[in-house]
Amino acid sequence: MWTEQASGSGTRRRWERSPEEELHTAQDGWWQMTLRALRTLLLFSIILGLSLLLWGYVFQGCGPSPCKTSVCQDLLDLYLASGNTSVAPCTDFFSFACGNINRTGSPFQALAEENKRRVRRILETPGSWRLAPGEEKAFEFYNSCMNMSAIEAAGASPFRQVIEELGGWSIFGNWTPLDFNQTLSLLMSQYGHFPFFRAYLKPLPTPPYLPVIQIDQPELDVLLKQKQEPNYAQILREYLSYLNRLVTLLGGDPTKVGNDASYSLFINSQLNQFLRPGEQQQAQGKVFEMVTIDQLQRVAPAIDWLSCLQATFAPMSLSPSYHVAVHDLEYLKNMSQLIEKDLMKHRDFLQSHIIFGLVKTLSPALDSQFQEAHRSLSQKVGELTGRPPMPVHPRWMTCVEKTEAFFEPTLATLFIKETFKPSTHSAAMELFTTIKDTFISHLHTVPWMDRETRAEAQDRLTQLQVKMGPSEWALKPDPARQEYDDVQLGPSFLQTFLSCVRSRQARVIQGFLQPFSSHRAVNFGAAGSIMARELLHIFDQLLLPGGCPACDTRALQKALLCLERLYAALPSPKGTSFNVSRTLLEDAADAGALAIALKAYKKRLVLFRGETILPNLDLSPRQLFFRSYAQVMCRDPSTQDPQDIRSPPTLRVHGPLSDSPAFTRHFRCPQGALLNPPSRCQLW
């Protein structure tokens, strides 16, 4: 947990701001730190094992002899599997470190899977734990999820019961149409299904960072954009075949589904054409806008927004004047017009479209034949479009993920007791102290910072109080959150699953309704450059226009322009869009973090002397430092979210390394090599 004593200004993103967002700006500093740390919590917990193990082995030992412990062997196996040493490091260090990432998967993915295995061991040994009342439901849920024989025996009957609760289905000949908005309210509040748009609670990314209902584009099953999609006719045939298969599995007559299936494809295609890509939203400078529910009702009148949102987010008290964050108002307008038109003509077809989508949402709780049907569709569409197919996970992993989602308070506590040892805590604290102290002294070298600003920054860092390790809510969780009185187990696994969906939604809402703790950020552990990067983000405001009036503005702008040009000169990965000006603050933090972490590493070596190396890797300790920096960035660049405000992973590696004279020196990069540019920047 990071806690800053003095308030200050945090990072300001380039979002459009409404008058409501101007409130409470005095809280910017601690709110910014709190939310940034919360957003990076998962990242830190995943990399904790890799980063601390690496630093632990580098800093220990009494000479540059090979490290032969099991920890070092695991690291060696990871590095050898993910890297491609045939690539020249001075030309393409990302490929040198991550060249086989498509074959091996990212280290984040590998460590996440290992964490899931640990949770699996916990769930499969309930007798090893002293459980509070109600906590046994987590273990019972997992066992029910793993009991595929019982799920298969139930077949489609549990889902047919859901269909009856929604008014039935014309395919079965027993449809009693409900009001459309009544159906939509049931889908959103009782089944966690959002067929036409998504609605969720999330803090705003701009001051005052308060939680608000956000309305976003839907996650459509099959992306169909007519005339733009190669093999479009074949994709339609595959999807029609899939829908026929669903009807058969549900016990209906597939010969009666033709028109319903065709309509579902039509509405899917229409909604796809309404979508606005994330990069287009960014380019237009409007990622979301604040509107009242009443204003939203006028723009998209087919939806009864107040009743649907009130049902979904009870016990929140909503009114027509309540503000929501809308990510694409034009999409909602077009979606509403489509529904209004088709409600008049094809209410039965609209019901079929809803049911087809609901099958996918609830498929983890259904007979495996439903999951296999969708997996087959994904594979065939992937072959036709060149998109990667849906990954295949073993059943235990699906059950662990769902148990984690529904019973997080219990599993977080047990996981921490199992994995977070005192030695890990002391190593993390020791590393953070080194990074923080190095950053404080490093501020003396920042050329654009005036004396008063430097002193204030150093004082803020000095007063930064840190608690590494599990948060209090995880070690001593509120018993009321763990009793799970609202979770009903059985009689079918689908009914258990739906009860857990509703219970989790209620906990999420209740958590947002409770007041946030001030001056607090949660951190499970971090290492090296990641710690430095988060510390640097405290001072992002100084880099913005007018953010530091007393600083040497000319020198600051020169350094920023230098960094922007440095990144612009680097080749972007194929198939990715990249806007240097949009990612500049994150690029500055990456480059500065590497420099600070390297200084901290050198300081550590002076104090403790002695290093070890990984056998058979042919890298010196300092070369290994840069290799480890790149390792945590390893992932497929094509999977990056278009709305990500950070550069693609290749540039997050090449940008800071090309700005580091030490990298050039230790890898002996020749003049003219990509990562040995003629000039460098000193921003931080």
**Sequence-ordered strand ranges (E) for 423-566:** 465-466
Type and span of the H or E element at 289: strand 289-292
Indicate the length of the chain as a whole number: 684
Enter the tokens of residue 324. Answer: 């929501």
C-alpha–C-alpha distance, residues 477 and 521, integer Å: 17
Structure tokens at 356: 């087809």
**How far out from the chain centre does Cα 92 lie?**
27
Rounded (5°) CA angle 504-325-22: 115
Residue pair 26/607 in contact (Cβ under 8 Å)? The answer is no
- Residue 158: closest CA among 498, 399, 492, 488: 492
CA dihedral 671, 677, 681, 684 (to 10 degrees): -80
Beta-ladder partners of 326: 215, 289
Task: Count CB neighbours of 377 within 10 A.
Answer: 23
- Answer whether 680's CB lies under 8 Å from 668's CB: no
Q: Report the distance separating Cα 498 and Cα 489, nearest Å.
A: 10
Q: Of the candidates 610, 609, 597, 615, which has an alpha carbon nearest to the alpha carbon of residue 663?
A: 597
Residue 25 burial (CB count, 10 A): 14
Looking at residue 667, what DSSP letter applies? Answer: T
| Structure tokens given for 370 | 């439903």
H-type helices in 126-213, by residue range?
136-146, 148-154, 157-165, 180-190
**List of long-range contacts for 158-161, beta carbons under 8 Å, 24+ apart:** 158/365, 158/366, 158/492, 158/493, 158/494, 158/495, 159/250, 159/359, 159/362, 159/366, 159/494, 160/250, 160/251
CA distance readout (Å), 487 to 390, 456, 503, 672: 30, 51, 6, 64
The alpha carbon of 634 is separated from its chain's Cα centroid by a whole number of angstroms, namely 16
Q: What sign does the CA torsion over 153, 158, 163, 168 have?
A: positive
Nearest-angstrom CA–CA distance, 431 and 61? 17
CA 410 to chain centre: 22
Give burial (CB, 10 Å; 0-12/13-18/19+) of 639.
Answer: exposed
Q: HEC string of 417-444?
A: HHHCCHHHHHHHHHHHHHHHHHHHHHHH
Residues noted as catalytic: 534, 590
CB 212, CB 347: distance < 8 Å: no
CA dihedral angle for residue 532, residue 538, residue 541, residue 542, rounded to 10 degrees: -60
Do 457 and 9 contact (CB within 8 A), yes or no? no
- CA–CA separation, 206 vs 193, rounded Å? 28
3-state secondary structure of 203: strand
